[in-house]
Amino acid sequence: MVKKIKVYSTPECPYCKIAKKFLKENNVEFENIDVEKDPKAAEEMVQKSGQMGVPVIDIDGEIIVGFDKEKLEKLI
């Protein structure tokens, strides 16, 4: 089953870069959403996570705040 993955991030965020690199290295497709350029997406991210910080990773409705390698490995 293909999971729908969204990564809410900003271009400068080091943890966002690490999270996206991790997903790419594991051949996981994801949608990258730049919350700096898209205020509606930023609002959606805050509603989902209750957080202003990035990255926020949404895997089929499961929310991960920050880069949590163990949780990511479990969910992908």
pLDDT in tens, the chain (76 residues): 678 999 999 999 999 999 999 999 999 999 999 999 999 999 999 999 999 999 999 999 999 999 999 999 999 8
Q: Residue 72, SS3?
A: helix
Residue 61, φ and ψ in degrees, nearest 5: 90, -10
Q: Indicate the pTM of the whole model.
A: 0.94
Q: Residue 68: its pLDDT value, please?
A: 96
Q: Residue 3: its pLDDT value, please?
A: 86
Is 38 in contact with 10 (CB distance < 8 Å)?
no
Q: Is the peptide bond before 39 cis (omega within 30 degrees of 0)?
A: no
Cα 60 from Cα 49, distance rounded (Å): 13
Question: In this structure, how many other beta carbons lie within 10 angstroms of the beta carbon of residue 62?
Answer: 12
Which fold would CATH assign to domain 5-75?
Answer: Glutaredoxin (3.40.30)
